[in-house]
Structure 1
Amino acid sequence: MAETDRFPAPSLTDRLTAGTFTALMAGLRLLPYGSRVELSGRFFSRVVAPLAGWRRRIRDNLALVLPDLPEAEVERLVRAVPDNIGRTLAEIFSGPEFVARCRDLPLQGPGAALLEQLHAEGKGAVLVTGHFGNYDAVRGGLSGRGYNIGGLYRPMRNRDFNTRYVDAIEGVAKPLFARSKRGMTQMMRFVREGGMIGLAIDQYLGAGTDLTFFGRTARTALSAADIALRYEVPLLPIFATRQPDGLSFAIEVEEPIPQGTPEAMCQAFNDRLEARVRAHPEQWFWIHRRWKNR
């Protein structure tokens, strides 16, 4: 994923990938919402995962950080993780239907009252999450309630796919800010003026700091803590956990992370995310190359 607003010219492979994905999502939208999400999960688990090499990557990551996991559980996760990813993409590309299902979900957890108070008072916050459950259910749910919430995203190298993806996530909630010099400046202004910003900081970032995740070194962005400290707003972990029906979510707001150094604050988030993943390992995106310096 690129760190600037510039993209290389799309290759033929890029165009074919983006076109195939677009056709798939268009076909799925012909189905009722529940069937659409379920079928997308099955397709990504049974077709996309083996073709894209996801199954091996999931196995490698699990072997690295959870080496004692029983083989039966590894096999379950090899299939369940892509299923969750497929469901997530179908939901995001469902736009208003997805938001309508999220906006009335109750805010749970020890930080929920604080988040509601900040919204009522028009104050900002940094909402930090990971690629867990469906992370965009948070933005969709809060935006549907009238929260002034923006999101930060990392532009993809595949320009054609990136255009389609940005259109989809803008359909969930606006504004969006690209991880680039211009986007970060716009995002800072948004928070300074009382907006809430949602950040997922569980991917490898070359310019990040070496922290730990599952006991292994994982280079982590400090931007969430930096922004919270600069503008004196709470750093609130928030997660949307997929429920057993496969379609609904529990939106849980944790207690704010205490102020400290950016490293300490982001390590505290890594620890909280790890606890979530251990409880629901099938809901985290194990396809990411989180531990590149293994």
Structure 2
Amino acid sequence: MSFKVNTTISQFGGQLLKLTHESRFTKTSMDVNLFIPPAQTKKIPVLLYLSGLTCTPQNASEKSFFQYFASKYGFAILFPDTSPRGAQIEGEDESWDFGTGAGFYVDSTTAKWKNNYNMYSYIHKELLTELSKSYPELDFNNISITGHSMGGMGALVGYLSLPGKYKSVSAFAPICNPSIVQWGEKNFGNYLGNNKDDWKKYDPTELIKNYNGPITDILIHQGLNDNFYQSQLKPENLLEAAKNGNYNGKIDLRLVDGYDHSYFFISSFVEDHAKHHAKYLGLY
């Protein structure tokens, strides 16, 4: 597989590459943005950022300010898309919280969606493997993961379901217990079917109960003025589920007054997350 470089933008001494490639898991063309910091004498660690509902690779790369800290600490940052686009499935463009822009980072199993909506395998298997071939200066064995909202859920799921693959995890306002909220019920029901046992492998609150891999602190920021906090996100459920497992006391949930669900919130605390991952990536 080859990546087409559509645009190269100089930023903070490094380069932001806007890439396109064909995916065998989504069977569509996929956009991805990749920031590579200034050249180093050793291979460059990677931070994977998963975006939220309705977002494209542009949102975080234009609004988060992550590239400044990636350049400062010396890690690359990867911004994938949030779903297949143009799969031409009936109903995929009818609502903002399902279908296009809302892949929910799962591998679909229902007949209508399973040929294209396989974002779990696309992200954690295909994309990272193929990029490692095209950009050998990047160290995909030294990689961490973060994300926002739906992407925060995806980051937690990736970390907890693939023990040891990611050195650390953090999240901004993640959907922590999707099996019991409207967003999760809508997306899991359509992508995975009605058997709720099948939903558990994509639910951080369920996964953390039996997690038995490497333990690194989980950093979560949650704005108290976030309209989705109580209805869709439920970070306290994740903390409660962790109490009887290996993650008891290892989740740093920071509730911040006055902040909403937007990139104004994300950019305000992105430095904390960059430092968190730089530590586990061995950069200081």
Give the TM-score normalised by structure 2. Answer: 0.28
Higher relative contact order (CA 8 A, sep 6+): 1
Give the TM-score normalised by structure 1. Answer: 0.28
Higher helix proportion (structure 1 or 2): 1
**Highest CA radius of gyration, 1 or 2?**
1
Higher strand proportion (structure 1 or 2): 2
